[in-house]
Structure 1
Amino acid sequence: MSSFLSQKVPIVFVPGLFGSMNDQIIPGTGDWSFGLARTAYEPFIRMLENMGYRLNEQLFVAFYDWRRPIGISAEHSLVPVIQWAKQVTGASHVNLVCHSMGGLVARAYVQGDTYQNDVDQLLVFATPNAGSPISYCYWAGGKLPRPVPGKRNVLEIYMNVYLAYLEQGRPFKRVQAIQRHFPSLLDLVPAADYGDYLLEKKNGAESFVPYSSMVVKNHYMDLLNSTMGLIYERNIRITVVAGIGQETIHYLRTVPSLSPTKWVDGRVVGSISSSAGDGSVMAKSVFTLEGDKYYVEATHLDILYKSEPLLRQLLGS
């Protein structure tokens, strides 16, 4: 191995929601791959290879079962890949490059009790560090509002593929199926740091539903954000990158729900969007995590390759 390559701190890439697929998640899909998200992630891997990182030599992918709670994914999927990367390279530290939900998996490790002091940099792209209203829509009601006819969120496309699989050959109630088979989605609903996000219309007037009074709360992320100081105490350099310029759901308009099992905090009838996001995640949610902060005008998926100059600078490539 050349001295140039041997000096590189190895990268462990942690993909986002729906960015890992194998037979355990959907039978017949084979061994671990990027699955539904391959058109986004395979070009990114090639970009890193062009920067001098060879796959499975200095560049490793931490696939995980995104249906499971985030803490479990960190313990059972990320930690073994970090250990593998250190064993292969002989390095004592790795850099974690994370997209979307992958950033939360990484945070679960570096903020956890089993952290092994082996991460140099944590680079997160489009990670919903305070959650996303889109996740509330699916967790509580099984669908997104349709404020703009024909305009679909990338999460909705991937989610519909997965829900179509769940529907095959079995009795199907969408909300119950999501909550049973996809418990990690609760880890992605807005947390306290997002702020109030349900705008309820009652008796002709609209007012925000206080997060403190809601049934659907993100207790996991509330705890994670309350202990984020551990990352700085552990001397990990943090870079946080958010996409902007895309219409993104910021708030949800609701009316009282009559169902005891669906829309428990209000039935979503519309949304209020903002361009201060990447189409899936608001920049304010990404920047809940403190660190060196950067904006990129990009969608939720193309933020990775549009950040190539920044990555080269941070990784010394």
Structure 2
Amino acid sequence: MKITRTLGVFVFICVFVFFPISFPTIIAQSQGVNVEEITDYQEWNESRIIDKDVIIRSGATLVIGKGVEINFVTPWIGIIVEGNFLVKGTLKEPVVIKSDLVTGSFSITTTASSNVMIRNAEISNGGSAAYLVRGVMNKVSANSYRGSLEIDGGEIDVQNTTFKNNLYAVIVNSSDAIIRVNRSRFIDNNFDVEVNGNGNSNVDFQYNWWGNINGPEETCFVYNNKQQCYYEKIYGAFNFSNWLIKENFRDPVLIVPGILGSEEGSNNKWVLDPVLHTFDNLIADLEKNGYEQEKNLFLFPYEWRDSNVENAKLLQQKIDEIKQLRHWPKVDIVAHSMGGLLAREYIESSYYGNDIDQLITLGTPQLGAPESYLRWERGIGLPSLQEILFSKQMLLWVEHDGYNDTFDYIHNRPISSLQELLPVYDYLFDIDQKALRAYPNYYPRNQFLENLNNKLDGLDKVEFTKIIGKLGNNESSMAAFNVINIDKGKYWIHGYPDNIESIIGDKGIGWSDGDGTVPIDSAKGIASDQEIEINSSHQKLPSKASDIIYNVLTNYDSIANIDPLIIHSILFVPVFSPVDIQIIAPDGSRMGKNFETGGIYNEIPGAYYTGYDTKNEFITIPNPVNGEYQVLTQGTATGNYRVEVSKITEVDVPGGEAKESTVTLRGTTELDVREEKKIELANDDTVVAVNEDTLPPITTLASAGTRGTGDWYTSDVAITLSA
């Protein structure tokens, strides 16, 4: 009997020495303390008091929404993650996970099957330790401790989170877990990070603030004439390099335009909307608030006619370049219109690099834009300034590339992005059947957007903000079409909008509120972390929302006071070869090719010239002043040429309609031959060709002097020519 007792005590001591656990845990389990089990999908969008363990079972998901406060009020409890645990705070409204207990505080414990994402959170007063008696007369003792985040396996991604006043902030016990804790702060914890075992190459604690510009606190001493050092609050082998030298940081910002938001200039280099200047005010606002281009502010112009699927791969390359340049793991993206779909394609892809923190979309058609139906089915658009400009540019491409018309160009080049903007909901009312067709039956399919909206879980990886334009007019944005089935050859295969080509009537269009381009229901389309509505047209959203964008990015108010460039009219001058072009404005300022030096004049504010080494040469001048303009040409070969001069003027109506006036200048040229023609912009927004005098002058000659024999003059002669 005595031997049995001794053996029992020995086993008891060994258990606690080699497998330390807390007495409160044993007692709680023996007493059958209640446990809350989560076995399916749950969202917590209101603050909670937790008084018992919460277990997220394998296959289940718990999402904690922005601004929620979780308060643990019972000792030695926590959240045990066997499934998915998503903490989705925002910069403005972080999630708070805390306890007011002095001892035996909470722990979030992961397992091998865990998938944990914590974003924008504050974790405080967590972690625990228990001192246990393991032998007779208190001579054998040890302690059991847990971190506020206790990692026993799984995949864990923690970003922009503050660990503060925890007994133990993070403890890693697994050699297999994949762990990223970045862009976070460790402040006034008793102990910050402990990584046990032989090391784990998948433990990444880079880019964090450790409370000091010199990184984790270090203590050094001399032993055997050698300096020895150890860290006060971290232990184990893991990567904590590239620490922050100040507590707050800014991710680099990348601006992604939408359709027509980039132009191809000289040397095949794409530039960000130099024509309508959609982003000028936003860029100026960000720069005024401390951002600097090519340091923490970057632009992504691209060939927007190509598929978003292909451009998403180029976006990945651009982000990789920024990360390498800035030695930083993530960027924030501000995307206008279709640019939001492009960014989503990357985020929701299988090759996403987990390198975007915030996605801010501006007027993105999350469910598609009915306006694209007109382009896809017939190659036409309604008369807005942007749509008329789009049509003019397409005619230039059609002629230069040898297509029959814009419809042929859209489908056979093709402009894949237009098809990827088609709506994926019911928007065609069949007049013959007197019924709204059910998408996708007898609709032009948009499989890109269908697939994209079937992968929305990918957006959980970013803080997602939608900024939406709402003009407050139920007839501002195209939402649907009343169609009839009629044979129009290759056009209107899926239905002809009744009277679409009429100059009066509703043109077979159903209208709704929105930003003039994207209907409100499509802009709202999918769930996001926050949604902000402002009174703005589609094109002006980046300008009007610039202060909001800065606030979302940084949680600070903008100090900028930028007067935005509002474009109400534009002069568009395309060149149909074989000539290059230069324009001289009424005040003498020039834009276009310098015929003497081969350089480029750029003297008209806001104007854009593609350059003369491009396939499609043109000049644009925003808000052109009225008066006489000189249009100079220089031949690049022998042949006939023409130059079209169009003034497109916005009409002050909710839908943003516009009117145009065009004149065509024609001529015949040879290599290096220069010609001058003139046009005048009149007060009524029309363009007028200044008449050229095509009749030869009638010249008379008069002479005066002293005449001699045979009408020869014998004195000086004065000759006078009159015409």
TM-score of the superposed pair, with normalisation by structure 2: 0.39
Tell me the residue number matched to 1:257.
Answer: 486
The answer (yes or no) to whether the contact 2:369–2:421 under 8 Å persists in 1 is: yes
Letter matched to residue 538 of structure 2: H
Paired residues of 2:286 and 2:550 also in contact (CA < 8 A):
no
Please tell me whether the aligned partners of residues 395 and 405 of structure 2 are also in contact (alpha carbons under 8 angstroms). Answer: no
Task: Indicate whether 1:199 and 2:429 are aligned.
Answer: yes
Which amino acid in structure 2 is aligned with residue 186 of structure 1?
A: Q
**Structure 1 position 305, deviation (Å):** 2.1
Q: Which residue of 2 aligns with 1:185?
A: 418
1:84 to 321, 327, 330: 321
Instruction: Give the aligned partner of residue 218 of structure 1.
Output: 446
Tell me how far apart the structure 1 counterparts of residues 333 and 397 of structure 2 sit (CA, whole Å).
32
Shift of 1:210: 2.1
- Determine if the alignment matches structure 1 residue 157 to structure 2 residue 400: no
Q: 1:213 to 1:167 in 2, by over 3 A?
A: same
Matched, 1:22 2:264: yes
Give the residue type in structure 2 aligned to 1:258. Answer: D
Query: Residues 40 and 171 (structure 1 numbering): CA distance in 2 closer, same or farther, change over 3 Å?
Result: closer
1:36–1:158 contact (8 Å) kept in structure 2: no
Per-residue deviation, 1:289: 2.5
More strand, by proportion: 2
> Residues 183-222 of structure 1: CA distance to partner in whole angstroms, max 9, x if unpaired?
221100001xxx31112222xx743222131241111101
1:297 to 525, 535, 538: 535
Structure 2 CA distance for aligned equivalents of residues 303 and 43 of structure 1: 10
Taking the TM superposition and a 5 Å limit, the aligned residue runs for 1:114-193 are: 114-144=351-381, 152-169=383-400, 170-181=402-413, 182-191=415-424
What residue identity is the alignment partner of 1:201? Answer: I
Identity %: 25
In the TM superposition, residue 171 of structure 1 has moved relative to its aligned partner by 4.5
Amino acid at match of 2:329: S
Distance 1:116 1:305 in 2: 30
| Residue aligning to 2:205 | none
2:419 counterpart letter in structure 1: L
Name the CA distance, whole Å, in 1 between partners of 2:438 and 2:553.
Answer: 42
How far is 1:37 from its partner?
4.3
CA contact (8 A) 2:403 2:409 kept: no
Check whether the contact 1:18–1:158 (CA below 8 A) recurs between aligned residues: no
Q: Using structure 1 for the length normalisation, give the TM-score.
A: 0.87
Q: Distance in 2 between matches of 1:29 and 1:131?
A: 33
Counterparts of 2:412 and 2:275, CA distance in 1: 23
Q: State the 1:282 CA deviation.
A: 1.1
Asked if structure 2 preserves the Cα contact closer than 8 Å seen for 1:126 and 1:300, the reply is yes
* Residue 310, structure 1, aligned to residue 563, structure 2: no
Structure 1 residues 75-129: Cα deviation after superposition (integer angstroms, max 9, x where no partner) = 0x21121112112222111101100011011001000011011111111010011
Between the two proteins, the alignment pairs up a number of residues equal to 297
Shift of 1:4: 8.0
Contact 1:63 1:78 in 2 (8 A): no
Q: Does 1:209 align with 2:441?
A: no
Q: Kindly indicate whether the alpha-carbon contact (under 8 Å) linking 2:280 and 2:543 is maintained by their aligned counterparts in 1.
A: no
Q: Which amino acid aligns with 1:124?
A: T
Q: Is the counterpart of residue 282 in structure 1 residue 519 in structure 2?
A: yes
Q: Any idea what SS the aligned residue of 2:361 has? A: strand
C-alpha deviation, 1:256, in angstroms: 1.0
Q: Which amino acid aligns with 1:158?
A: L
The answer to whether the 8 A contact 1:153-1:280 is kept is no
Return 255-264 or 57-66, whichever deviates more: 255-264
Paired with 1:286 and 1:102, the residues of 2 have a C-alpha distance of 13
Contact 1:215–1:264, Cα closer than 8 Å, also in 2:
no
Q: Which 10-residue stretch deviates more, 163-172 or 287-296?
A: 163-172
Q: For 1:39-54, list aligned pairs within 5 A.
A: 39-54=277-292
Q: Which has the higher contact order (CA 8 A, sep 6+)?
A: 1
- Name the SS of the counterpart of 2:364 in structure 1: coil
Mark the CA change 1:218 to 1:175 in structure 2 (over 3 Å): closer, same or farther: same
CA contact (8 A) 1:11 1:97 kept: yes
Seen in structure 2, the aligned counterparts of structure 1 residues 83 and 221 have a Cα distance that, compared at 3 Å, is same
Does the Cα contact within 8 Å between 1:70 and 1:105 map onto a contact in 2?
A: yes
* In structure 1, distance between residues paired with 2:295 and 2:389: 31
Name the SS of the counterpart of 1:115 in structure 2: coil
RMSD: 2.2
- Check whether the contact 1:12–1:85 (CA below 8 A) recurs between aligned residues: no
TM-aligned CA distance change 1:154 to 1:101, over 3 Å: farther
Asked whether 1:97 is paired with 2:334, we answer yes
What residue identity is the alignment partner of 1:248? S
SS for the counterpart of 1:178 is helix
Q: Which residue of 2 aligns with 1:149?
A: none
SS in 2 for 1:188: coil
Give the deviation of 1:174 after TM superposition.
Answer: 2.6
Give me the whole-angstrom Cα distance separating, in 2, the residues matched to 1:177 and 1:110.
Answer: 30
Which structure is higher in helix share? Answer: 1
Query: Computing the radius of gyration over CA atoms, which structure comes out larger, 1 or 2?
Result: 2
| Partner Cα distance (1:5, 1:199) in 2 | 57
